[in-house]
Structure 1
Amino acid sequence: MSDSHSDGGDCTPHRTAVTEAEVEALVRGICFKTGPPRTLGVELEWLVHSLELPQLPVTPEQLEAVYATLRAVPLVSALTVEPGGQLELSSQPASSLTECVETVSADLDTVRAVLAEDGLGLTGIGHDPWHTPRRFLREPRYDAMEACLDRTGPAGRHMMCTSASVQVCVDAGHEEPGPLGHARRWWLAHQLGAVLVAAFANSPLLGLRPTGWQSTRQLMWMEIGAGRAGGPSLTGEPRDAWTRHALDSPVMCVRRDSGPWEVPEGLTFREWTRTRSLGPPTRADLDYHLTTLFPPVRPRGHLELRMIDAQPGEDGWLVPLAVTAALFDDPEAAETAYRTVKPLAERARNQPAPHNPLWTAAARHGLADPELREAADGCFAAAQEALPRLGATTRVTDAVAAFRDRYVARGRCPADDLLDRLPALDPH
């Protein structure tokens, strides 16, 4: 379930032109692969900072050197680098929560040891509280992305260069209805997603100043706009809704073999198939287009939940992974989660995530919102009961219990700790 951004290379086998009807059939077929939930994955983005003075920027030369060393180290997870130099570890699909945790933990230990030799470490915060966006990678994909996102303001550069997340990947689910059915899981991901935003909000600062949002990272995603970072309508069959959304979203860029990539303005993929104004689109163009859409829940054969801020501490990432796995893959917990978040759906007002009142409240207030706090407590309770049934280790169950006691039960989230520590974060 790894998701690197190295998908801009040659796609020769897919260079046959596609029609609108073919594109619709392809999207329906490749984005929802239904079946019994069997695998789990996680993608961890980290800010890389000096161990002693995290407020000092790491030089590009330091990053180049340490990443060159890391690429020579054997890891099970895929290691990639984000545009601002953030490090990402993407697990392989795991057959159990325990397998996923053990594999990624071992890889993280290896990565941390290599970084420490250069005086560097991994920091789990949803948005860098110290530094302004600065691009580390100079590649055609990111040149085009920056040009495209700049049209809607500075939020795109913040997303690219100064944000970090925990992304949990679960199977799409059964074809049949029920707690593990794909339609229920798709709906649950979008309603539970707001609860996950609120519970794990961990980015309240920008330039060491409070933004008024517990998840500034989520605010940046909202400001990028619905065409690039929004989800589809939840009415109707999920495949149909996502297919319409994918085709009616704007094309970010058109890759070229030489020179800068073209960045059209306002051209949807559907329009491209009809007008062929930039040459006929191919299967490779479609595949690439799907990687440039960043909804909070992205169907990629499996479901990729993208709304969770990076978490503090060495084991902080365990909690959103374990809670999400329990609420999606244990039938009893999935049913409880569905009933728990169902009343929240009214606050979404039938508007797609994250551009609706429910998600806005989650990002702004975290668990200070009473309804989100109540829903989070119910979901965490269900997850705690389910984790032993999923074979979770004591390390995992203890981490979830500690998080619930420290944050959920008190209507707090990790962002509150950062706000409390603000004087210590500012060396001046």
Structure 2
Amino acid sequence: MGQLVEHLAQGCKPKADWRIGTEHEKIAFATADNLPLPYEGETSIRALLEGLQRFDWQPVEENGFLIALKRDGASVSLEPGGQFELSGAPVEHVHQTCAEVTRHLREVREVADEIGAGFLSLGFRPDTRLEDVPIMPKGRYKIMRDYMKKVGTLGREMMFRTCTVQTNLDFSSEADMVRKFRVSLALQPIATALFANSPFTNGDLNGFKSYRSRVWMDTDADRTGMLPFVFEDGFGFEQYIDYALDVPMYFVHRNGKYLDASGKNFRDFMNGTLDVVPGEIPTLSDFDDHLSTIFPEVRLKQFLEMRGADTGPWDELCALPAYWVGLLYEDDALDAAWEIVKDWTAEDRQQLREAVPAQGFDAMIRGVSVRDIAIRTLAIARKTLNTRGYMNGHGENETVFLQALDTMARAGQSNADLLIEAFKNEWNGDISRAYSECIY
């Protein structure tokens, strides 16, 4: 246990070394018929990955299949249903994140245009049925897919039809990690409301603002959720590791292959009694693999991952890191955000988590609307970003990335609300309009 605690503690960094990592997924489709891309073929996921190599991306293969690309600390990888993900390099400020996202979208658009493909900026596939989504050739996903049938009811929907944008942020100490974990976990439903962008399923409205967020509520209770223990006295690295060790395993990665350990106990692995690899003791790499299969609303590794947002248009890919940096990267901001959430109980937080996917800004907690909380947190974030003072070439600081969120919060309308209105009116119920209106 001590070695694992030390492993997580190695993520502690002085404030001068704090960085921002942004990950975002997008839904690839063929422009000729709006169908999802298969792995192989002229208009395919593989063709996209091959085409991107002209921009100095280096290929990554698994069992002969091209499954990812790497360049300068960043990577392009595949989610189970062919969702294209950019995992950005750690950067110092949000302008750099924005430049990275812009460069990536320019590159993928160039290749996509040549092969007849496009990318949707939605948090859920708007019309493709689950059974019609092609399966990507990655070993870990087969194990996950099979295990998802045994837990929850929507796990395969999560794998094959959802898209998210995430931000990864640093901490200076265990105490700093705890403060940031508690604030970001409590406020994650506020981010879900701000970034809600998945109101369509199977070609029609689904009754939710963020159906992606709803899907996570019935994926696998053992590895998802709002983690009430994070708010208990004494919480720290050791308590998170205790939780992680009790989450059922998915796999063990050996010699380029994923061995099915689904449902098994990582503690048995630590004791050398895991039947998949009898007599073996896990490495730290095995533990990191296991941490990557845990999916709470905020996830702890050697940094904290904010996981509550739907993917969205270009400006919102930059807005998510701006929002969380503004709340978490200055002590005064962290204190002000904690003042908002400190009296919320575990029941309050859970009820908010359950209400937001359908109600969005109208959801309430202790008599206060999510919209009002969003406005308050955006004001806190804006103050931090003004203080940080990072400027772009136009003399704008990082607050420029909060403008879209400010507009939505003041109006009480997320992307999802606007899409619902458009679908009912100017789209006249034609879901194919999503492929022209919600494209990168």
TM-score by length of 1: 0.84
> Structure 2: how far apart are the matches of 1:84 and 1:305?
22
Corresponding residue for residue 206 of structure 1: 201
Corresponding residue for residue 112 of structure 2: 115
Corresponding residue for residue 405 of structure 2: 403
**Alignment partner of 1:221 out of 216, 221, 229:** 216
Alignment gaps of 5+ in structure 1? 1-23
Shift of 1:73: 2.1
Shift of 1:399: 4.1
Corresponding residue for residue 155 of structure 1: 154
Moved more, 275-284 or 365-374: 275-284
Instruction: Note if 1:47 corresponds to 2:33.
Output: no
CA RMSD of aligned residues (A): 2.5
- 1:325 is matched by which residue type in structure 2? V
CA gap 1:277/1:57 in 2 versus in 1, 3 angstroms: closer
Corresponding residue for residue 185 of structure 1: 180
SS, match of residue 149 in structure 2: helix
Moved more, 297-306 or 128-137: 128-137
- 1:69 is matched by which residue type in structure 2? G
CA gap 1:321/1:225 in 2 versus in 1, 3 angstroms: same
Corresponding residue for residue 78 of structure 1: 75
Instruction: Note if 1:418 corresponds to 2:419.
Output: yes
For 1:28-427, list aligned pairs within 5 A. Answer: 28-32=5-9, 33-37=11-15, 38-51=18-31, 55-60=34-39, 61=41, 62-63=43-44, 64-74=46-56, 75-76=71-72, 77-133=74-130, 134-175=133-174, 181-230=176-225, 232=227, 233-234=229-230, 235=232, 236-255=234-253, 261-265=259-263, 267-274=264-271, 276-278=273-275, 279=278, 280-283=280-283, 284-312=285-313, 314-343=314-343, 345-346=344-345, 348-349=346-347, 356-370=350-364, 371-390=369-388, 391-393=390-392, 394=396, 396-405=398-407, 407-423=408-424, 424=427, 425-427=430-432
Shift of 1:239: 0.9
Shift of 1:211: 2.6
Shift of 1:276: 0.9
Kindly provide the CA deviation profile for residues 82-113 of structure 1, in whole angstroms up to 9, marking residues without a partner as x. 11111111111112222222233223222222
Corresponding residue for residue 11 of structure 1: none
> Structure 1: how far apart are the matches of 2:155 and 2:272?
28
Shift of 1:408: 0.6
Shift of 1:256: 5.8
Higher strand share: 2
> Structure 1: how far apart are the matches of 2:36 and 2:301?
34
Divergent runs of 4+, >4 A? 255-260
CA contact (8 A) 2:386 2:398 kept: no
- 1:146 is matched by which residue type in structure 2? R
Shift of 1:397: 3.1
CA contact (8 A) 2:166 2:307 kept: yes
Shift of 1:403: 2.8
SS, match of residue 196 in structure 2: coil
> Structure 1: how far apart are the matches of 2:328 and 2:7?
21
Alignment gaps of 5+ in structure 2? 57-70, 434-440
Matched residue count = 391
CA contact (8 A) 2:148 2:220 kept: no
CA gap 1:114/1:188 in 2 versus in 1, 3 angstroms: same
> Structure 1: how far apart are the matches of 2:337 and 2:31?
39
> Structure 2: how far apart are the matches of 1:426 and 1:399?
29
CA gap 1:350/1:301 in 2 versus in 1, 3 angstroms: farther
> Structure 1: how far apart are the matches of 2:26 and 2:203?
18
Moved more, 66-75 or 213-222: 66-75
CA gap 1:253/1:332 in 2 versus in 1, 3 angstroms: same
> Structure 1: how far apart are the matches of 2:141 and 2:95?
35
Percent of aligned pairs with the same residue? 26
CA contact (8 A) 2:20 2:93 kept: yes
> Structure 2: how far apart are the matches of 1:415 and 1:149?
28
TM-score by length of 2: 0.81
SS, match of residue 202 in structure 1: coil
SS, match of residue 191 in structure 2: helix
Shift of 1:427: 4.3
SS, match of residue 122 in structure 1: strand
- 2:91 is matched by which residue type in structure 1? A
SS, match of residue 26 in structure 2: strand
Moved more, 158-167 or 396-405: 396-405
CA contact (8 A) 2:38 2:134 kept: no
CA gap 1:260/1:369 in 2 versus in 1, 3 angstroms: closer
SS, match of residue 44 in structure 1: strand
Corresponding residue for residue 64 of structure 2: none
